[in-house]
Amino acid sequence: MSQLVSIKEWLGHHGEPITPEAIQFTTRPAKSCRGCLFDGQHSSVCDRACQAAERAELDHCERGFVYVAKQADPRQVSLIEQEH
């Protein structure tokens, strides 16, 4: 029986890579990466998220914050089709 594990599983990466520059996010206080929008992504994605946060004048994640999805205005129409 083989005990080979894929590198993505071993490193804990999950899902498709997220593009930090293409989404709106904000910060909230935290003590670890748990709950971060970019938790489980490659370190390059986290680096880009930190750069995007800096450009948006948000707190840096290494100062006790995580990045979370920004709440949209409820009056805004969703561009994603919802299943009924």
User: pTM surpassing 0.75?
Assistant: no
For residue 74, what pLDDT is reported?
77
pLDDT at 41: 86
44 Cβ contact list (under 8 Å, min separation 6): none
67 Cα distance to chain centroid: 6
**Span 29-83, pLDDT tens digits:** 999 988 999 988 888 899 999 999 999 999 988 899 999 998 877 787 766 555 5
15, two tokens: 């899902």
**Per-residue pLDDT tens for 17-33?**
788 998 889 999 999 98
Residues in the chain: 84
On the question of pLDDT at 6 being above 80, the answer is no
d(CA 33, CA 17): 16
75-81 contact pairs (CB < 8 A, 24+):
none
Query: So what's the pLDDT on residue 23?
Result: 87
